[in-house]
Structure 1
Amino acid sequence: MWHHTASHTLGGVMDGFGSTLRRHRTAAGLGLRGLAKQVHVDYSHLARVERGECRPTADLAQRCDTALNAAGALIDAYHREQASPDMHRRTILGAMGALAVAPVGPLIGLEALRHSLDPGRKQADEWDRIVADYGRDYYTLPAADLAEQLRADLTVLAHQIGASPADRDLMRVAAHLSAIMAMGLSAAGQHGMARRWWRTARNHADQSRDADCRVWVRDWEVVNGTYEQRPTAAILDRAGEAVAIAGSRVSVGHVGVLSGRAQALAVAGRVAEARDALAATAAMTDRMPAAVAADADSMFGWPEVRLRHTESFVYTHIGDVVAAAEAQERALDLYPAELGRERAQMLMHRASCLIQGGHVGDGLRFAADVLDALPAADHTALLYQVARTVVAVVPERERRRVEAVELRDRLTALPAG
């Protein structure tokens, strides 16, 4: 019979699970690989447990104790460590310290080192600040820079989640960053890879059990669904899922889902339903808290300009060019200078409306002027996809005109730089 007391550690020393495991393993004459085989875990994982870089499970502690005939010493060490108020911080710092010196990209190592050097900071608060920064950086950073920065932060975050797999705050952060990665991939035209990241974002959001996060992730997936050319039924199913989670809650995610639903219905030609969804979007916009409505340059705000952009999109696709023009005029008065790419997308709606109104040459030249005015670094696959909808509304008899051919050719590939 086992008596779980500190006297069962070799030499009676009360220390960490990793060092206790190492002593008993060494005393038993076993190498890491030999023990890993006996307890049916990967050798590299067991090595990280010994170094204190990740936490053992109760089951692993039991299996190691049995394999090494430790008479309960490893189970004691496991429970002591779980009870230690400092264990969580030390485990994370161990993981970050190892990552900081690992053979990874410079940004990843640098960010890991930064986390390791500031142990007094509450990690959830720091990650929330990082997420808030991305909410603005998404609109301003060149796509390549955003992707590299996200890769660095997600790598560091993955190691922290490995050390704290039940931390819901970290799951919420992972959901937000994964969704932003998915949006970046979608904007770059990598729709297949984006779908994988949307799935990851949803999974993390659901594990966080944060209703606002769960709805927000689905909001952006629904909005991007039309650009990713997903089936309308799939987009509407995701929107319905989000609305069910939101219930009567007024939030950025909820209004965003209504907006994305209106866009999907418009693209599908379901005019009456699109108008109803747009009216619901406007009604919820009126209920937004003042701070959210004033946040014009972040993915976590819902300013009036986002409603007007949605109206421009919907009215353009259903052919109501008068209502679209009104929405576009209002949006142009509201767009922050930092949101140049989004403003350019909306101006493509205006080009489409000109063509639908019979001004084919003017519309084609207007679209070309929009591209010329936008810095090359801000030209994205998403923008070009919106621009191709301009070419698509050119009447068949006009498609050989010089402006149409030039614009169509120009949209075959993104410019260098």
Structure 2
Amino acid sequence: MDPAASPWHLLGAELRYWRDEVRKLNLREAAAKALCDHGDLSKWERGLARMQTDVIDRLDDLYGANGRLAALHAAMTELDNYRMGRVAPDASSRDEDDDMERRAVMQILAALGAGAAIPPGTWDALFSGVERTIAGRSGIGVDDWSEIVWEHDFAYYTNPPGTVFQTIASDFAEVSTLLKRTSTATARSGLLRISAQLAVLMGMEMSDVGDQGSSLRAWRLARRAADATGDRDLRVWVRGWEAEYGYWAGRPAPVIARLANDAIEIADGSPSRSLAEAHMVRAFLLASQGDAASTQTALVDLRRTFDAFPDAVDSDQTSPLWSFRAWAQAWALAYPYALLGQTREAIDATDQARALCPPTFHGNAANLALVYALTQARGRDVDHGLQEAIATAQAWPVSTIRRLIIGQMLDDLPQKSLESEAAHELRSLTKGSVSDA
């Protein structure tokens, strides 16, 4: 099998990988469980036959591929139709660059499905349309994609790490194509704004699955796209999120401080969710360095910004990535207090955040549970903290945020507790890449 030989060879190689290496099933076992013929499955794995959508959906569920195989099959089918001329009327206008970006998305999805590294140059192909627009190339106009981004924001908050990247990358490729055809300045600015937000989401997702190199590329593009729009709030928003995820991913402290300070400088005192984010990240960074006085100053700045928010920032119609609710403010207090060993304050803030956090934001609930565990471990009840952390790590996939909090907790354990069975179990739950968790 040569995955580069044809789209169906690529799909076949993925099918074999998930059956043989991930699930450890032979052909007959897999075919019986997926309600298909083992001879047909063999042909599909060798790229000799095309398979139906219902079959790929059953195999995707059987192998636990979380939609990767189904998405790859859909992309292969669309590409095959494109090559055979069986395309929608408006697809005939796509040029060679469009096809290159489509292939880039398929390569990224295939690499994610196989747990492999993103092929070199793939991100360049995917980001090319936005890059050219930033440089001044024009094209045709397009409608606003704000509602799509809003839905992606909620999906990011309510789904496990790495599971919404596929749709985000596909939408980014489409926006990139539209940007190349846009000649109107207003439409181009609107699309660049959408591109910046989608790139932020890709940066978060790539960080959560452990691909920090791809995450950095997405963050850089998000900054450039935001700057190209001239939208102050967007520029602050991108830098605030990059600073926060840079902190969780372990980027150098001076880089995190620069991003947060840049966001504060660009905001120029205008209160916003993004400015609150920047002050929060400064508090996190200073608390991690043990600077209690400067941490308190950053938290005071955060409170002042929060109190000055316009009503729209706290609206139910605002996406989670653009809002800063009361539960988020409580979270912003709980974590630095936990790092500084201020047990009572940390517990009070954590309890408040847990009570206010939306029930569908499972990942945030897991983060708060780990802050509580960190507080216990650094306070009076190490064993309780370890058990809380183990239960959380077992119940929810390990993300960039949760990996760092668990690492900080383990690093600060006394020697006796560090050698305990509970500590070894917690460490084993976070071994390997984030996507393995």
Could you tell me the TM-score, scaled by structure 2's length?
A: 0.65
1:225-240 equivalence runs, <5 A: 225-240=246-261
1:317-396 equivalence runs, <5 A: 317-374=339-396, 378-396=397-415
Q: 2: CA distance between counterparts of 1:208 and 1:415?
A: 34
1:177-196 equivalence runs, <5 A: 177-196=198-217
SS at match of 1:282: helix
Q: 2: CA distance between counterparts of 1:287 and 1:298?
A: 19
Match of 2:86 in 1: none
Displacement of 1:291 in angstroms is 3.1
Distance 1:128 1:94, change over 3 A: farther
Aligned CA-pair RMSD = 3.0
Displacement of 1:289 in angstroms is 2.2
Question: 1:364-391: CA deviations, max 9, x gaps?
Answer: 11111223343xxx44343233222222
1:267–1:317 Cα contact (<8 Å) kept: yes
Displacement of 1:206 in angstroms is 0.4
Segment drifting more, 134-143 vs 349-358: 134-143
Q: 2: CA distance between counterparts of 1:403 and 1:101?
A: 50
Q: Which of 278, 296, 301 does residue 299 from structure 2 map onto?
A: 278
1:311–1:324 Cα contact (<8 Å) kept: yes
Q: 1: CA distance between counterparts of 2:349 and 2:411?
A: 22
Q: 1: CA distance between counterparts of 2:236 and 2:220?
A: 14
Q: Which amino acid aligns with 1:336?
A: P
Displacement of 1:215 in angstroms is 0.5
Is structure 2 residue 146 aligned with structure 1 residue 128? Answer: yes
Q: 1: CA distance between counterparts of 2:405 and 2:300?
A: 23
Q: Which amino acid aligns with 1:228?
A: A
Displacement of 1:123 in angstroms is 2.9
Distance 1:91 1:323, change over 3 A: same
Unpaired runs of 5+ residues, structure 1, are 1-89, 109-121
Q: Which amino acid aligns with 2:421?
A: V
Displacement of 1:233 in angstroms is 1.6
Match of 1:176 in 2: 197
Unpaired runs of 5+ residues, structure 2, are 1-88, 109-140
Percent identity of equivalent pairs: 25
Q: 2: CA distance between counterparts of 1:102 and 1:236?
A: 34
Match of 1:58 in 2: none
SS at match of 2:290: coil
Q: Which amino acid aligns with 1:187?
A: D
Question: 1:89-111: CA deviations, max 9, x gaps?
Answer: x99994499959997579x9xxx
Distance 1:234 1:349, change over 3 A: same
Displacement of 1:144 in angstroms is 3.7
Segment drifting more, 132-141 vs 293-302: 293-302
1:108-123 equivalence runs, <5 A: 123=142
Q: Which amino acid aligns with 2:299?
A: L
Q: How many residues align?
A: 312
Segment drifting more, 96-105 vs 218-227: 96-105
Distance 1:357 1:282, change over 3 A: same
Distance 1:364 1:381, change over 3 A: same
Match of 1:208 in 2: 229
Q: Which amino acid aligns with 2:425?
A: E
Displacement of 1:285 in angstroms is 1.0
Q: 1: CA distance between counterparts of 2:342 and 2:378?
A: 9
Q: 2: CA distance between counterparts of 1:123 and 1:251?
A: 28
SS at match of 1:143: coil
1:38-187 equivalence runs, <5 A: 94-95=93-94, 104=103, 123-125=142-144, 127-164=145-182, 167-187=188-208
Question: 1:148-207: CA deviations, max 9, x gaps?
Answer: 111101111111111127511111111111111111111222222211111110000000
1:297–1:339 Cα contact (<8 Å) kept: no
1:95–1:160 Cα contact (<8 Å) kept: no
1:172–1:204 Cα contact (<8 Å) kept: yes
Distance 1:297 1:257, change over 3 A: same
Match of 1:266 in 2: 287
Q: 2: CA distance between counterparts of 1:297 and 1:343?
A: 18
Q: 2: CA distance between counterparts of 1:276 and 1:98?
A: 50
Displacement of 1:303 in angstroms is 0.4
Q: 1: CA distance between counterparts of 2:101 and 2:364?
A: 39
Distance 1:246 1:400, change over 3 A: same
Q: Which of 305, 309, 312 does residue 291 from structure 1 map onto?
A: 312
Q: Which amino acid aligns with 1:408?
A: R
Match of 1:399 in 2: 418
Distance 1:164 1:362, change over 3 A: same
Segment drifting more, 350-359 vs 295-304: 295-304
Q: Which amino acid aligns with 1:146?
A: V
Q: 2: CA distance between counterparts of 1:164 and 1:300?
A: 27
Displacement of 1:395 in angstroms is 0.7
Is structure 2 residue 424 aligned with structure 1 residue 410? Answer: no
Q: Which of 281, 298, 309 does residue 331 from structure 2 map onto?
A: 309
Displacement of 1:297 in angstroms is 6.4
Distance 1:103 1:394, change over 3 A: closer
Displacement of 1:246 in angstroms is 0.7
SS at match of 1:123: coil
SS at match of 2:322: coil
